[in-house]
Structure 1
Amino acid sequence: MKFKESVNGAVNGILDRLKNAVNRIDDRVNQSTFGRVFRLKGSGHENEIHDATFSAELRAGLTTFATMVYIIAVNAHILSDTGANCVCKNKNDLGLCSNEAEYVMCQNEVRRDLVTATAAVAGFSSIVFGFLTNLPVALAPGMGLNAYFTYQVVGVRGSGGIPYGLALTAVFVEGFIFILLAITGMRHWMVKIIPGTLKTASGVGIGLFLTLTGMSYGNGIGLVTGSVSTPLAIGGCPPEYLIRGECPRDIMKSHKMWLGIFGGLLTAWLMAFRVRSAIIIGVAAVSILSWPRNTSISYFPHTEEGDSRFEFFSRIVEFHPIKHTLSAQEWDLTGKGARFMIALVTFLYVDIIDCTATLYSMARFCGKVDEKDGDFPRSTLAYCTDAALISFGSLLGCSPVTVFVESGAGIAEGGRTGLTAITTGICFILAIFFAPIFASIPPWATGCTLILVGCLMIRQVTTGPRSGFTPSETVRRSAPSSTRTDRRRLPRRRQTRSRQRHRCRNPARRVSNREVSLDQASTFPCACLLMALSLLT
């Protein structure tokens, strides 16, 4: 008993000394010029943040990095499907090149380039954004737009209507347009006139797209495939058994698919217990199990491609220079002007909605939104900085850069200033030198991450507006239901009272008086515009 008390006393003494040491460091840094720049507690700045300390900012930055480091591997896997500037000669009906082995090796090099590029863009963007805006928000190439960039704009192995270099040009130009909109104040006006239903539908649609990507073979667990008779079919067979993209046999027997599902279940279980590093733990667990060579789930099979992967992985710590994606923009729009404009408008539209909503949410979460005007300090500078970083990211070969909602994990940990974002950025810069590890994360390890992130985005459908003649209301009214049948059986007096109560709950909905809200009036033309754009693609 005495021994236990002595041990507890010794441990408590050590913890107290550590706490006192941290407090002394906090006081010294907070009262320095450095602390005054970031308005830390006790810095003497007239607008100092009373709950911001140096140690809390560092801890919050590390937490944010742990929750979003998965983007390095996931973004590289997705964007490398474009093939960048690799040349595919004489592609056949199966999508294979006559120089298949050479093309695959080039594609692996592109993936390694994009690992370096993603880490560099995320690191530099977070550092610059944190220093200029003093917000605890980290940036990186955005999920959703990277999939749209790859599979809709450029296409797998460049099979889309726009080459990789021209798509990067669209991203580059979009950044400058975003700056112009932010400076002139048009960004705020455009966000207001876009219907709430379309704002919600954009996030939900991208979420569904990410979920499908995570279930596919290219960058997922291989759960579904294409089909001749139906748009999708159950897959899950080993990749070597695929014939024209379909599984004729051994359905749901792929060991790699089941390992990916295990990783997804592990991640979901950890997320249910609010473990902040749940995603990276799930990805790391599946990756480590996939690295031994003599297994059916190995990412390094005994083939020429597997040997090349393992040789690069064995270096562990190495700086991989960017060769294929650096300054790869093309400016020749001959015959591709319409598709270029569609891609440009889509990138701009999604970035305006995503950046505005996420930045506002994060600023409110850390208590920086002024309740009087609904704005936060340096908002215009924040939007302009984000836009400039979009153009910067395209120079390194990345899809649009955006604010990451995972920044909320760091804010919940105590992050209140730009020092949190700078800490996250420094961690991403250090990750550049571990490119061999991040480039060796298999697609079935990140597939369920895409599915889970997509599902989180789909949840936006529960927050969308439900009043008026929205598209969802139209679908609901056109579908037969027992509720409508029961209403026909009600006496006329009860029906009238029901309608009156419904009008009281929805004062904006007075169709008989032709009083329609802005959201209702603009939904139909905006939907027609989106339909026309989709037909052009």
Structure 2
Amino acid sequence: MAYIISVNAAILTDSGGPCTVHDCTPVPGNSTVAPGPECMMGTSNPGYQQCLARTKSDLVVATAVAAMAASFAMGALANLPLALAPGMGANAYFAYNMVGFHGSGSIPYRTALAGVMLEGIVFFALSAVGLRSKLARLIPRNIRLASAVGIGLFLAFTGLQANQGLGLVGASPTTLVTLTACSETDPVTGACLGGTLHSPTFWLGAAGFLLTATCLARDVKGGMIYGIVFVTAVSWIRGTSVTVFPDTPAGNAGFSYFKKIVDFHTIESTAGQLSFGGFRHGNVWLAMLTLLYVDVLDTTSTMYSMAEYGGFTDGAGGFEGEYRAFLVDAGSTVLSAALGSTTVTTYIESTAGIREGGRTGLTAITVSACFLASLFFSPLLMSVPPWAVGPSLVLVGAMMMRVAKDIEWGDMKEAIPSFVTMALMPLTFSIANGIIAGLGVYVALHWYDWASHACGRVGKALDDRRNQVAAATAEVGPGQEV
């Protein structure tokens, strides 16, 4: 699970965090003119880039602390070998749909964090009164499976883009997206200016992708981290075309911090950045419902899957410590939001500990101790480049495809809503759009069956009542009161 620290921090930093246009450096030679919003879109403004660097450092710590606290609580309170951390999917939705790339979305960062915290509180309340698992069962099974597939495609698409990953996919004025990995790109739009597939960082990231994929294919323990370590180590070498420390003010500042190696960074800008003033807008509530939907489906189903994998389940499908595990899982989201990160979930990587014999909370506490140790290596974790993170997002997306085989593709009433759900998530770059469209199509295709079934039940009830009256009349006899 070590990859989560750098990947989550990188994704959330793309939202811009608390950085605004006020952090931008004025235009050289014309300091009287205030910078405009365009200063946040490129990579050339040193003031804004320095703010992003501080934000990423904060989010590295926030991710590690949230994972450490959540995993420790799961082990100590629920005595289960389940490790927790801020979840993939929810973090991408937060960064690219809610807040938007560098704050270009419809919800400000502070309002979005407040929404995450409120969602965590609601989720905690649902878990406390026992409604969590019941809500999960209300969602049609095939839509649940399609949501997981769609989120996987969303993550993979994110990992292939320039700002967040490998840079293989970029914008096109004619076909919307196209093959890029260019040697020269527009710093604002990311459009290719020449040299398709000539980007050195892409080929380095592709090598890391193949290394990680090979490790996963051969079931190498910790395979996900090896590709990240390889690409990152090569990118630390200065004076190369793939260095993460170019000879620029931002690159020099990053290298100076990197040379510390060991440093306990304190959160400066992301913790406590909550604003509940924007809740009068409907898009905030829609985002909260989407996060709640993902939480109910993702974390609940993962937890049950892990319990079944480890043999913890009872005859009714539950498992010992279930109630406390649900409370820990939901409560950890509240803490994560307070630190500046997103919703916390139980990770499928918990199977690694279970496979090695972990059956108690000591396994989760051990994971917590590892996250604690990572807090002292912020300079290293802060220097992981996007082309090292992108392959992991693509491979996480690939692993989420496995549930597609369980969708009932032979039944068009189930297959069509499922396809709409998974297709619209990456194509509209919105998890919420996929969920809403999929559920809408599902209702449209099933309402006639539901109505017919309801009418049939009403008709049967009326027939039964008439038969009862007729039988009673026959027993009493003609001319007598029933």
Q: Contact 1:197/1:470 (CA < 8 Å) preserved in 2?
A: no
1:310 paired to 2:255: yes
Q: Given that residues 241 and 249 in structure 1 are in contact (C-alpha distance below 8 angstroms), is that contact kept between their aligned partners in structure 2?
A: no
User: 2:281 is matched with which residue?
Assistant: 337
Distance 1:93 1:252 in 2: 27
1:58-95 Cα shifts (integer Å, max 9, x gaps): xxxxxxxxxx1000100110001111111225445685
| Among candidates 230, 241, 247, match of residue 296 of structure 1 | 241
Matched, 1:368 2:312: yes
TM-score (normalised: structure 2): 0.82
The change in CA–CA distance for 1:212 and 1:91 in structure 2 (over 3 A counts) is: farther
Give the one of 76, 87, 99 matched to 2:20.
87
1:183-233, Cα deviation, whole Å (9 max, x unpaired): 222222211111112101211111111001100111101001112212211
Q: Is the 8 Å Cα contact of residues 88 and 100 (structure 1) preserved in structure 2?
A: no
1:196–1:465 CA contact under 8 A, matched in 2: no
Q: Which amino acid aligns with 1:188?
A: S
Paired residue for 2:344, among 389, 401, 411? 401
Following the alignment from structure 1 to structure 2, what is the Cα–Cα distance between the partners of residues 219 and 359? 29
**Correspondence for 1:104 among 49, 57, 60:** 49
Q: Which residue of 1 aligns with 2:205?
A: 260
Q: Determine the structure 2 residue equivalent to 1:276.
A: 221
- The letter for the 2-side match of 1:318 is D
Structure 2 unpaired stretches of 5+: 23-34, 420-445, 455-482
Aligned equivalent of 1:413, options 345, 356, 359: 356
The aligned amino acid for 2:197 is M
Structure 1 gaps, min length 5: 1-67, 477-507, 517-537
1:240-261 per-residue CA deviation (whole Å, 9 max, x = no partner) reads 5557321031111000000000
* Counterpart contact for 2:124–2:331, Cα < 8 Å: yes
Task: Give the direction of change, closer, same or farther, for the CA distance of 1:181–1:513 in structure 2 (3 Å limit).
Answer: closer
Amino acid at match of 1:453: V
- Find the aligned partners of 2:151 and 2:267 in 1 and give their Cα distance: 29
Do 1:122 and 1:425's aligned partners in 2 also have CA atoms closer than 8 Å?
A: yes
State whether structure 2 residue 237 is matched by structure 1 residue 286: no
In 1, the alpha carbon distance for the partners of 2:450 and 2:187 equals 58
- Distance of 1:425 and 1:380 partners within structure 2: 21
Corresponding residue number in structure 1 for 2:5 = 72
How far apart, in 1, do the equivalents of 2:121 and 2:331 lie?
Answer: 7
CA distance in 1, matches of 2:417, 2:263: 56
Identify the residue that residue 381 of structure 2 maps to in structure 1. Answer: 438
Describe the shift of the 1:195–1:424 C-alpha distance in structure 2 as closer, same or farther (beyond 3 A). same
Q: Say what the alpha-carbon RMSD is for the aligned residues.
A: 2.3
Between the aligned partners of 2:143 and 2:68, the Cα distance in structure 1 is: 32
Q: 1:257–1:416: structure 2 CA closer, same or farther, 3 Å change rule?
A: same
Contact between 1:115 and 1:439, CA under 8 Å: does it hold in 2?
yes
1:102-147, Cα deviation, whole Å (9 max, x unpaired): 1110001100111111111111110011111111000000011100
User: Which secondary structure state, in structure 2, belongs to the residue aligned with residue 392 of structure 1?
Assistant: helix
> In the alignment, is residue 322 of structure 1 matched against residue 267 of structure 2?
yes
Q: Is the alpha carbon distance of 1:186 and 1:467 closer, same or farther for their aligned partners in structure 2, counting shifts above 3 Å?
A: farther
Out of 259-268 and 189-198, give the one that drifted further: 189-198
Cα distance in 1, alignment partners of residues 43 and 321 from structure 2: 54
Q: Is the 8 A contact 2:120 2:330 kept in 1?
A: yes
Separation in 1 of the partners of 2:326 and 2:184? Answer: 44
Find the partner of 1:174 among 77, 101, 119: 119
Give the conservation status (yes or no) of the 8 Å contact 1:242–1:248: no
The 1:411/1:514 distance shift into structure 2, 3 A limit, reads: same
TM-superposed CA distance for 1:395, in Å, is: 0.5
Asked if 1:346 corresponds to 2:290, the answer is yes
Counterpart pick for 1:143 among 65, 70, 88: 88
Is 2:380 the counterpart of 1:447? no
Q: Deviations over 1:257-291 (max 9, x none)?
A: 00000000111111111002111111101111111
1:128 to 49, 73, 86: 73
Q: How many matched pairs?
A: 415
Equivalent in the alignment of 2:459: none
Q: Distance in 2 between matches of 1:475 and 1:355?
A: 20
Structure 1 CA distance for aligned equivalents of residues 21 and 327 of structure 2: 38
1:130–1:137 contact (8 Å) kept in structure 2: yes
Which residue of the partner structure matches residue 244 of structure 1?
189
Q: Indicate conservation of the 8 Å contact 1:91/1:97, yes or no.
A: no
Are the equivalent residues in 2 in contact too, given 1:175–1:390 (CA < 8 A)? yes
d(CA) in 1 for partners of 2:403, 2:146: 8
Equivalent residue number for residue 324 of structure 2: 381
Which residue number corresponds to residue 45 of structure 1?
Answer: none
Residues 182-261 of structure 1: pairs in structure 2 closer than 5 A: 182-238=127-183, 240=185, 244-261=189-206
Q: 2: CA distance between counterparts of 1:97 and 1:291?
A: 22
- Specify the alignment match of 1:532 in structure 2: none
* Equivalent residues of 1:94, 1:244 under 8 A apart: no
Please state whether the residue corresponding to 1:421 is helix, strand or coil. helix
User: What letter matches 2:318 in structure 1?
Assistant: D
Give the Cα separation in 2 of the matches to 1:309 and 1:381.
42
Q: Which amino acid aligns with 2:324?
A: L
